């Protein structure tokens, strides 16, 4: 997976303190080059919704499905408690083996994958499960959602975060969710008898010699997104041996870790979860929940004339695509810099206009009403035995 910490030991002196023979202009240019590949492309948000607003205004999020998925899962839920204050900055985060790419990277990946309900998805380097969970909201209950993660502690972390989301998030009831399944192993050692997938994403830099291996995981008509030769690349399989390639943007990901031989000299094959058929009981639960959602929507249409309305959010400030509050990690040193866009020097008029706009559009000391989980309320009101009600709610906490 991409880590800011692994920009390269060779850059340590260049970007660190006291680099010999390097002028201020060169230092700044190097920092801009590194930062352009590491996030920091939009302003920080005060909460998850504002971060998504910023990504949307900067054209990183362009489709409604991707926007809904990003809003439904709070990025801060995937941070350790002591680091949550940085969750809404457009920056990568790493602590030990745990890692999250910058939001602008994830949004470009989600858009490039062109996700649709019912597809199969394979996440190579699945990490915390943040991306896989967002994908699962789009795939729906009849999709396939698999992840391979190198580090067992990160796999366990991802399972804990997934369990927390299922038990506590109202978004679980708003969407038909394709629950991710995570396995531990090296993604370069996937068993050759595994099924192919409609969509594949690799979260680590792919060397040229592994390009064909990655392509072999893809069905005809499928899409592969991966960092290849310092570019986030989209490859579409148009035929058994025909491909279309598109370079999306420059990125800097840590390279894939090469497999290690076991004691007997053989590689440790990674066996992906089987494509299981859902039980009749599970299919009935999906169908009942779907019917209840339709009833709720029809009741709202009859009452309001236009269906359920989202909780109104106040108008946000206009967002300029810029670098700010950027932190570059180089091994154990930290090089922090606040880099201004040249247009920022003459932006006092814009800032004053934004301030006046906020004063007009944002009512003081007013907060939106918390969202109502209509599905949960409807299920609990049904004349059914309690065990059946809680089964329909997946035994989730309120």
Quote the CA–CA distance of 272 and 82 in Å, as a whole number: 34
- Domain co-membership, 298 together with 182: no
In the sheet that 144-149 helps form, which strands lie side by side, from edge to edge? 181-184, 144-149, 120-124, 197-202, 218-228, 231-239, 242-250
Indicate the residue among 213, 242, 276 that finishes a domain.
Answer: 276
**Residue 322, in any domain of the structure:** no
Query: Does pLDDT of 63 surpass 60?
Result: yes
Both ends of the chain: CA-CA distance in Å? Answer: 34
Query: How high does pLDDT run on average in the chain?
Result: 81
**Residue 167 in 3-state DSSP?**
helix
- Domain co-membership, 245 together with 382: no
Question: In the prediction, which pLDDT does 19 show?
Answer: 40
Distances 342 to 24, 91, 138, 321, 327 between C-alpha atoms, Å: 16, 21, 39, 12, 19
**Residue 89, in any domain of the structure:** yes
- Domain co-membership, 242 together with 380: no
The maximal CA–CA distance of the chain, rounded, in angstroms, is 78
User: What domain count does the chain have?
Assistant: 2
Query: 305 and 297 in contact (C-beta within 8 Å)?
Result: no
Quote the CA–CA distance of 144 and 199 in Å, as a whole number: 10
- Domain co-membership, 213 together with 82: yes
**pLDDT level of residue 372 (50, 70, 90 thresholds):** confident
pTM of the shown model: 0.76
Q: How many CA atoms lie within 13 A of 377 on its CB side?
A: 6
Q: How many CA atoms lie within 13 A of 189 on its CB side?
A: 18
Quote the CA–CA distance of 234 and 222 in Å, as a whole number: 10
Quote the CA–CA distance of 100 and 94 in Å, as a whole number: 6
- Domain co-membership, 80 together with 108: yes
CATH of the domain at 102: 3.40.50.150
Quote the CA–CA distance of 259 and 269 in Å, as a whole number: 10
Active site residue 101: yes
Question: In the prediction, which pLDDT does 349 show?
Answer: 54
> Residue 345: is it exposed, middle or buried by C-beta count within 10 angstroms (0-12/13-18/19+)?
exposed
- Domain co-membership, 248 together with 298: no
**Residue 220, in any domain of the structure:** yes
Instruction: Give the residue-averaged pLDDT of 153-165.
Output: 97
Its domain, for residue 391, covers 278-302+374-397
Of residues 6 and 317, more confidently modeled: 317
Instruction: Give the residue-averaged pLDDT of 375-389.
Output: 92
Query: 70 and 374 in contact (C-beta within 8 Å)?
Result: no
- Domain co-membership, 156 together with 71: yes
Task: Find, among 107, 99, 103, 102, the residue nearest to 125 by Cα.
Answer: 99
**Residue 317, in any domain of the structure:** no
- Domain co-membership, 162 together with 292: no
- Domain co-membership, 195 together with 241: yes
Query: Does pLDDT of 387 surpass 50?
Result: yes
**Residue 18, in any domain of the structure:** no
> Using alpha carbons only, how large is the chain's radius of gyration in Å?
23
Task: Find, among 6, 223, 10, the residue nearest to 101 by Cα.
Answer: 6
Query: 27 and 288 in contact (C-beta within 8 Å)?
Result: no
Instruction: Give the residue-averaged pLDDT of 364-390.
Output: 82
**pLDDT level of residue 364 (50, 70, 90 thresholds):** low
The angle, 0 to 180 degrees and rounded to 10, between the axes of the packed helices 280-304 and 374-381 is 110
Question: In the prediction, which pLDDT does 395 show?
Answer: 84
**Residue 384, in any domain of the structure:** yes
Distances 9 to 4, 6, 13, 27, 64 between C-alpha atoms, Å: 12, 7, 8, 16, 40
- Domain co-membership, 229 together with 295: no
**pLDDT level of residue 42 (50, 70, 90 thresholds):** confident
Query: 194 and 216 in contact (C-beta within 8 Å)?
Result: no
- Domain co-membership, 159 together with 292: no
Q: Per residue in 212-254, pLDDT tens? A: 999 999 999 999 999 999 999 999 999 999 999 999 999 989 9
Structure tokens at 72: 């439904």
**Residue 150, in any domain of the structure:** yes
Quote the CA–CA distance of 364 and 219 in Å, as a whole number: 54
* Active-site residue (options: 36, 43, 101, 279): 101
> Rounded to an integer, what is the distance from CA 242 to the centroid of its chain?
29
- Domain co-membership, 125 together with 232: yes
Query: Does pLDDT of 348 surpass 60?
Result: no
**Residue 330, in any domain of the structure:** no
């Amino acid at each position: 997976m991409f880590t800011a910490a692994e920009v390269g030991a060779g850059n340590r002196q260049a970007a660190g303190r006291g680099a010999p023979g390097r002028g201020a202009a060169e230092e700044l240019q190097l920092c801009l080059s590194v930062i352009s590949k590491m996030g920091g492309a939009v302003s920080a948000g005060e909460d998850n919704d504002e971060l998504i607003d910023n990504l949307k205004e900067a054209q990183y999020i362009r489709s409604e499905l991707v926007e809904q998925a990003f809003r439904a899962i709070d990025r801060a839920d995937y941070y350790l408690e002591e680091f949550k204050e940085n969750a809404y900055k457009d920056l990568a985060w790493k602590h030990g083996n745990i890692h999250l790419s910058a939001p602008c990277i994830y949004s470009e990946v989600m858009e490039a994958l062109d996700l649709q309900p019912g597809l199969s998805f394979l996440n190579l380097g699945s990490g915390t499960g943040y991306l896989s969970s967002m994908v699962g909201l789009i795939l729906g209950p009849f999709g396939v959602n698999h992840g391979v993660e190198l580090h067992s502690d990160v796999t366990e972390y991802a399972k804990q975060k997934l369990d927390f989301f299922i038990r506590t998030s109202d978004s679980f009831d708003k969407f038909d969710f394709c629950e991710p399944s995570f396995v531990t192993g090296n993604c370069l050692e996937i068993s050759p008898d595994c099924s192919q997938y409609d969509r594949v994403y690799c979260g680590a830099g792919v060397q040229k010699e592994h390009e064909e291996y990655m392509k072999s995981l893809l069905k005809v008509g499928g899409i592969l997104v991966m960092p290849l030769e310092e570019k986030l690349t989209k490859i579409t399989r148009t035929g058994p041996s025909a491909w279309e390639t598109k370079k999306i943007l420059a990125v800097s990901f840590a390279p894939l870790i090469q497999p290690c031989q076991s004691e007997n000299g053989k590689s440790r094959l990674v066996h992906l979860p089987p494509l299981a058929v859902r039980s009749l009981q599970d299919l009935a639960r999906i169908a009942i929940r779907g019917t209840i959602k339709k009833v709720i929507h029809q009741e709202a249409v009859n009452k309001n004339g236009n269906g359920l309305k989202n909780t109104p959010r106040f108008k946000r400030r206009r967002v300029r695509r810029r670098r700010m509050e950027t932190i570059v990690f180089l091994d154990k040193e930290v090089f922090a810099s606040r880099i201004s866009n040249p247009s920022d020097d003459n932006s006092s008029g814009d800032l004053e206009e934004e301030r006046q706009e906020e004063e007009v559009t944002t009512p003081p000391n007013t907060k939106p009403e918390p969202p109502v989980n209509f599905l949960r309320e409807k299920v609990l009101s049904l004349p059914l035995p309690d065990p059946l009600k809680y089964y329909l709610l997946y035994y989730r906490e309120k």
